């Protein structure tokens, strides 16, 4: 007979605890940490913001993955970049960050590139996480 009261306590405890699991996962999804910004990105941050709509010397990099090059409203791109026909993905970002002026002759971006493949990949991977 003692088992019944213990079972009732267990069921009551589960009834309270199970809904909390959903709340905890919802909260963790809302407060998930932002991707780690690689140290080499400091070169980019000198001219580019990662906040949507905030342009510095260069355009905002928020949401750059999948965007057509030279198409972000509110920024005056060079005619060369506007007409380059590129869409930013892992491959095009890698080529761009290797040597922007070689990929798009006439671009106004005054950046020589990131020669180290591993560091460049860190930046590309980071850029593709920006929303």
- Tens of pLDDT, residues 46-63: 999 999 999 999 999 999
> In whole numbers, what is the pLDDT of the chain averaged over residues?
84
Query: Is residue 88 located within the same domain as residue 62?
Result: yes
Identify the pLDDT of residue 33.
67
In terms of C-beta density within 10 A (0-12 exposed, 13-18 middle, 19 or more buried), how is residue 128 classed? middle
* CA dist., res. 108 & res. 82, Å (int): 11
Calculate the alpha carbon distances from 17 to 14, 20, 100, 124 in Å.
5, 5, 55, 41
In terms of domains, do 50 and 86 share one? yes
Place of tokens 């996962």: 25
Residue 96 in contact with residue 107, Cβ under 8 Å?
Answer: no
Is the same domain home to 49 and 107? yes
pLDDT in tens, 9-40: 444 444 444 444 444 444 444 555 667 999 99
pTM equals 0.75
CA distance 121 to 97: 9
Indicate if 71 and 120 belong to the same structural domain: yes
Which range marks the domain in which residue 75 is found?
A: 39-127
Q: Based on the domain organization, do 68 and 110 belong to the same domain?
A: yes
Number of domains in the chain: 2
Shared-domain flag, residues 54 and 10: no
Q: How many CB atoms lie within 10 A of CB 15?
A: 9
């Amino acid at each position: 007979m003692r088992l019944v009261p213990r079972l009732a306590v267990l069921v009551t405890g589960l009834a309270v605890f199970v809904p909390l699991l959903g709340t905890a996962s919802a909260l963790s999804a809302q407060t998930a940490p932002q991707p780690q910004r690689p140290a080499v990105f400091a070169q980019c941050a000198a001219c580019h913001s990662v906040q949507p709509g905030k342009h510095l010397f260069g355009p905002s990099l928020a949401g750059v993955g999948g965007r057509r090059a030279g198409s972000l409203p509110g920024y005056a791109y060079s005619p060369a970049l506007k007409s380059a026909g590129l869409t930013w993905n892992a491959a095009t970002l890698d080529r761009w960050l290797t040597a922007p002026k070689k990929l798009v002759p006439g671009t106004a971006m005054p950046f020589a590139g990131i020669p180290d493949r591993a560091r460049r990949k860190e930046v590309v991977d980071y850029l593709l996480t920006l929303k």
